């Protein structure tokens, strides 16, 4: 029984460390005047839309995948709930009538950002495009070799 209580305490401490980290990062990004105005007028912590929108992509990109990539199932609903509550109190926002929706959106964005907002993938290109072209004739010996090769090809 004591081992269970110890594990629960460790999980709670780890969860709160994650919450504090997320709150710190989001607070820094949500402290801009544009976000402040939007939050006061809409009474919503996060802007509407999906991670395809630039404003949401900027909020979550750069830190979620670096910190939480490969850490297992740590971005839980409880983490999202604690994050929303702390952020709302830190940003001094009024009580939200639809807190469940905000918690669900935060949970979704944290999970999806960790999965999809990683470092940019390189564009697919053929291997020939990456090669440099070298002039065919560098020296006199090369010129002679290539000329003889060309003559053989013409004869065939």
| Pairwise pLDDT comparison (31 vs 155), residue with the higher score | 31
Please report the pLDDT score of residue 82 as a whole number. 93
CA gap 52, 39 in Å, rounded = 20
Angle CA 36–42–43, to nearest 5: 75
Per residue in 40-96, pLDDT tens? 888 888 888 888 888 888 888 877 777 777 667 778 899 999 999 999 999 888 887
Please report the pLDDT score of residue 113 as a whole number. 83
Average pLDDT value for the chain: 80
pTM here?
A: 0.67
């Amino acid at each position: 029984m004591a081992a269970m209580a110890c594990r629960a305490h460790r999980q709670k401490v780890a969860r709160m460390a994650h919450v504090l980290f997320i709150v710190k990062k989001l607070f820094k990004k949500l402290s801009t005047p544009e976000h402040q105005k939007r939050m006061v007028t809409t009474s919503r912590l996060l802007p509407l839309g999906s991670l395809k929108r630039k404003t949401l992509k900027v909020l979550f990109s750069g830190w979620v995948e670096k910190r939480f990539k490969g850490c297992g199932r740590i971005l839980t609903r409880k983490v999202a709930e604690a994050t929303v509550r702390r952020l709302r109190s830190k940003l001094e926002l009024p009580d939200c009538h639809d807190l469940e929706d905000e918690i669900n959106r935060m949970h979704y964005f944290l999970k999806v950002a960790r999965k999809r907002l990683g470092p940019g993938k390189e564009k697919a290109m053929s291997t020939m495009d990456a090669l440099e072209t070298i002039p065919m004739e560098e020296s006199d010996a090369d010129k002679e070799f290539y000329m003889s090769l060309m003559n053989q090809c013409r004869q065939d």
